[in-house]
Amino acid sequence: MKKFAGWTLSTPATLVVVAFLILPVAATFWTTFSTPNGPLAPYFAFFNSNLRRTVLLRTINVSLATTAISLVIGFLTAYVISRTPGWLKSILIIAAVFPLLTGVVVRSFAWLIILGRNGILNTSLISLGITDTPFQMLYTQGSVIVAMVYLFVPLMILTCVGVLESIPDDLIQASSSLGASPTATFLQVILPLATPGLIVGAVLVFTGSFTAYATPQLLGGEQVMMMGTLMYQQAMVVFDWVSASTIAAIMVVFTIAIVLVMTRVARRLNPMAV
Amino acid sequence: MTRPVHPLLIALTVLVFIFLVGPLVIVVGSALSDTTYLTFPPQGLSLRWFENIFAIAAFRRTIITSLQIAFISTAIALVIGIPAAYALNRHRIQLPAWLSTLFVLPVLVPELVLGFSLLKSVATGFQVPIFPALIIGHTLLVLPYVVRVISASLANFDFAAEEAAVSLGSPPLKTFFTIVLPNVRSGVIAAFILCFITSINDVSISIFLTGPGISTLPIQILAHVEQFFDPTIASVSVLLMALTVAVMAVVERTLGLTFLAK
């Protein structure tokens, strides 16, 4: 009995994951292989469609831009936070956690108010005399990227603060007492040690952007369709479930491949592991 | 410990925090505006848009549905997730390594894919009604948080205390409830609150599972925004932000906010 205690206790959760996640997702994959036109037909259809290829490339572009911007902003901000003393540091961390725990809809809606045709940015620009006619900012790739960066910068900041705090202070002190300038210490000690953690953070942001729905829906609309919004449209508007399943499968394969490859790269780049 | 930081970096940090906090301040401001359109800074202060939330039946209904789903799915996730986290820590040797990966799968699989698959297999295939289907989806959504937070709490627990109780004749279940659980109480509270807020805010799973008559608050917000552009949504957002403040206070007292960075 005692031998199986571990199994007994983990069985309910295991069953739930197998029954309601693994099997349904496998069934979705299966749909794409069992069409009358042959096993890979839906994938050929996907990659033969100009619209769909554009959506896939756009999703990759937006996700890469979001990841790059979030990485730079997040890391530099986290660097400053980790060097801030006492109470000010707590306030900065609170200010980063608050948006993180606020829902995606609320955070995307905020940008709807700012970037709208009669939004705050346009009315300010007009009243400042910079422009006479409002700019079309909503439903552009730029507005989606801005809102996505807004979504993921807090996550990046917190990940990077965690990474930077795990770097032993001795190493940084050793570096400067051996005569390295702050810039040299940053580039030659801190950055290499932080790289594996940064990759993990970047992967989180990339996969999050790649599979996002609410933000591209609210700020991109039909004009800036991404994989998530295209999948929703195929499933719930067009009711083409084979096509939606194909997009789902491409999304899963893409994100899992990125996670596997990048975590391996991160492990190899870890200077502490050598 | 404090070393000088380049002034340019400090300037960048200030800008980043304006970028982070500014939009939320704008939402609060426009929620208080007396106008029928969204504007900032608010013109005339009024709470009428908050009253308007409760005047709209769809909002009243979806707020209640969202709360119910968050409570029920969090409770289920705790009931199945705590024993699993306990087993992963206490009986690590007899369990295969992939089991812990299994419980983080819901994080690895995109939520949209999970939502669509549940719609296809569970809601359509097995004709499961909307409400239980939403419960299933949200339970999967929050289960990884339970396993992760409880595992982190159990990592600091000395199982020798449990063994002492058992060797003194305490039955296993009683030992669990009187020795183990009280020691991870703060973890349980934190897990509950994190699951709750995650469920309340979910869009990607619910968007596929909600249907005629039953919807959740974020889905109702999306639907409302497409038709009306009045400050009602800003007011709902302020309510959700108030919930976030409460959640943060609890997390800070139990795990410490830096836990979220790990």
B33 by DSSP, 3-state: which?
strand
Q: Which of A12-16, A36-40, B35-39, B251-255 has the highest mean pLDDT?
A: A12-16
CB of B106 within 8 A of CB of B114? yes
At residue A2, the pLDDT reads: 62
Read off the pLDDT of each residue in B24-39 and give the average, rounded to a whole number: 86
**What average pLDDT score do residues A140-152 get?**
96
Average pLDDT over residues B117-143: 95
Question: Does residue A137 surpass a pLDDT of 50?
Answer: yes
Rounded-to-integer distance, Cα B129 and Cα B214, Å:
10
Chain A, chain B: beta-carbon pairs less than 8 Å apart: 267
Give the tens place of pLDDT for each residue, A183-238.
888 888 899 999 988 999 999 999 999 999 999 999 998 999 999 999 999 999 99
Residue A5 resides in a domain: no
In a domain, B51, yes or no: no
Give the domain range for residue B105.
Answer: 56-261
Residue A1 vs residue A59, higher pLDDT: A59
Q: Is residue B93 part of a domain?
A: yes
Nearest Cβ partner for B114 among A7, A25, A99:
A25
Which residues of chain B are within 8 Å of residue A210 when distances are taken between CB atoms? Answer: 110
Which of B27, B118, B197 lies nearest to residue A101, judging by beta carbons?
B197
Report the alpha-carbon distance of residue A62 to residue A42 in Å, rounded.
25
> Pick the residue with more confidence: A5 or A110?
A110
Angle at A236 between CA A46 and CA A23, to 5 degrees: 75
Confidence of residue A274 (pLDDT cuts 50, 70, 90): very low
CB-closest option in A77, A102, A259 to B108: A259
Mutation for testing the A interface, residue in B107, B116, B216, B235 having most A CBs under 10 Å: B116
Q: Are B112 and A214 in contact (CB under 8 A)?
A: no
Could you give the dihedral angle defined by the CA atoms of residues B250, B105, A103 and A134, in that order, rounded to the nearest 10 degrees? Answer: 150
Residue B113 has pLDDT above 90, yes or no: yes
* Domains held by chain A: number: 1
CA distance B115 to A213: 12
- Spatial distance between the Cα atoms of A119 and B75, rounded to a whole number of angstroms: 41
A260-274 average pLDDT score: 81
Average pLDDT value for residue range B151-178: 89
Residues in chain A with CB shorter than 8 Å from the CB of B94 are 3-4, 6-7
For A10, the closest of B2, B27, B84 (CB atoms) is B84
Burial (0-12, 13-18, 19+ Cβ within 10 Å), A221: middle
Residue at B189 is within a domain: yes
* Cis ω before B41 (30° cut-off from 0): yes
Residue A216 confidence (pLDDT) = 96
Sequence-distant (6+) residues with CB within 8 A of A209 are: A62, A63, A66, A67, A148, A152
Mean pLDDT for all residues in chain B: 90
pLDDT of residue B77: 97
Per-residue confidence (pLDDT) for residue A1, from 0 to 100: 47
Six token digits for residue A134: 């409002």
Per the domain annotation, does A18 fall within a domain? Answer: no
- Do the Cβ atoms of A13 and B106 come closer than 8 Å? no
Going by the DSSP 8-state scheme, the letter that residue B45 receives in this structure is B
Given a cut of 90, is residue B92 above it in pLDDT? no
Contact B198, B145 (CB under 8 A): yes
Residue A137 DSSP SS3: coil
State whether the Cα torsion A236-A240-A245-A251 is positive or negative. negative
Q: Which residue from B20, B55, B25, B18 is spatially nearest to B42, judged by alpha carbons?
A: B25
Task: Let me know if residue A152 belongs to a domain.
Answer: yes
For A:224-253, CB contacts with B below 8 A are 228, 231-232, 235-236, 241, 244-245, 248, 251-252
* CATH number for A99: 1.10.3720.10
Number of separate domains in chain B: 1
pLDDT at B250: 87
**What is the DSSP annotation of B191-227?**
HHHHHHHHHHH--TTHHHH-BTTB--HHHHHHHHHHH
Lookup result for tokens 């060097």 = A83
Backbone angles phi, psi at B33, to 5 degrees: -70, 145
- The minimum CA-CA distance between A151 and chain B, rounded to whole Å, is 9
SS3 of residue A103 by DSSP: coil
Q: Which of A69, A96, A105, A97 is nearest to B18 (CA)?
A: A96
pLDDT score for A273: 58
Residues facing residue B214 across a β-bridge: B211
A14 falls within a domain: no
Q: How many of the other CB atoms lie within 10 Å of CB of B171?
A: 9
Please list every residue in chain A whose beta carbon sits closer than 8 Å to the beta carbon of residue B5. Answer: 79-80, 83
User: What percent of chain A has a predicted confidence (pLDDT) above 90?
Assistant: 64
Mean pLDDT of the region B105-132: 94
Residue A3 lies in a domain: no
Asked whether the predicted pLDDT for residue A42 surpasses 70, the reply is: yes
Residue A89 maps to a domain = yes
In chain B, count H helices and then E strands: 13, 0
Mean pLDDT of chain A: 91
B160 occurs within a structural domain: yes
Q: Which residues of A touch B99 (CB under 8 A)?
A: 10, 14
For A9, A11, B93, B187, the CA distances from A1, given in Å and listed in that order, are 12, 14, 15, 28
Residue B67 placed within a domain: yes
CA B14, CA A141: separation in Å to the nearest integer?
Answer: 26
Flag whether B42 is in a domain. Answer: no
A160 to chain B, closest Cα gap in Å: 8
Using a CB-CB distance cutoff of 8 angstroms, which residues of chain B are in contact with residue A103?
200-201, 203, 218, 240
Most confident of A9-18, A117-126, B84-93: A9-18
Q: What is the pLDDT of residues B13-31, one digit of tens each?
A: 999 999 999 999 999 998 8
DSSP codes of every residue in B155-205: HTS-HHHHHHHHHTT--HHHHIIIIIHHHTHHHHHHHHHHHHHHHHH--TT
- What pLDDT is recorded for position A45? 92
Average pLDDT over residues A232-253: 96
Average pLDDT over residues A146-157: 96
Q: What is the DSSP string of B103-152?
A: HHHHHHS-HHHHHHHHIIIIIIIS---HHHHHHHHHHHHHHHHHHHHHHH
Q: Are B23 and A150 in contact (CB under 8 A)?
A: yes
> Averaged over A22-28, what is the pLDDT?
96
> Are B20 and A150 inside 8 Å of each other by CB?
yes
pLDDT at B200: 96
Q: Which helix (H) or strand (E) covers residue B230, if one does?
A: none
Instruction: Tell me how close the Cα of A244 comes to any Cα of chain B, in angstroms.
Output: 8
Q: B114, A21: Cβ pair inside 8 Å?
A: yes
Dihedral pair phi/psi, residue A69, rounded to 5°? -65, -45
Per the CB < 8 A criterion, the answer to whether A244 and A229 are in contact is: no
Residues 24-63 in A contacting B (C-alpha not used; CB under 8 Å): 24-25, 27-28, 31
Question: Is the predicted pLDDT of residue B91 greater than 90, yes or no?
Answer: no
Structural domain of A31? 23-269
Taking the C-alpha atoms of residue B238 and residue A108, their distance in angstroms, rounded to an integer, is 14
Is A15 within a domain? no
Please, which pLDDT band fits residue B1 given cuts at 50, 70 and 90? very low
3-state helix, strand, coil in chain A (%, to 5): 80, 0, 20
Per-residue model confidence as pLDDT tens digits over B209-242: 998 789 999 999 999 998 888 889 999 999 999 9
Q: Is A72 on the interface with B (CB under 8 A)?
A: no
Is residue B206 a part of any domain in this protein?
A: yes
Residue, of B92 and A248, whose pLDDT is higher = A248
Q: What is the ipTM of this complex?
A: 0.92
pLDDT of residue B261: 60
Rounded Cα distance between B146 and B80, Å, is: 9
CATH code, domain carrying B235: 1.10.3720.10
Q: How confident is the model at residue B205 (pLDDT cuts 50, 70, 90)?
A: very high
Cβ–Cβ of A120/B40 closer than 8 Å? yes
- At A85, is the pLDDT very low, low, confident or very high (cuts 50, 70, 90)? confident
Partner-chain residue, chosen from B121, B244, B245, that has the shortest CB–CB distance to A23: B121
Minimum mean pLDDT range among A88-97, A209-218, A240-249: A88-97
Whether A178 maps to a domain, the answer reads yes
Q: Give the pLDDT mean for B52-62.
A: 91
pLDDT of residue B262: 55
pLDDT digits (tens, 9 = 90+) for B64-90: 999 999 999 999 999 999 999 999 988
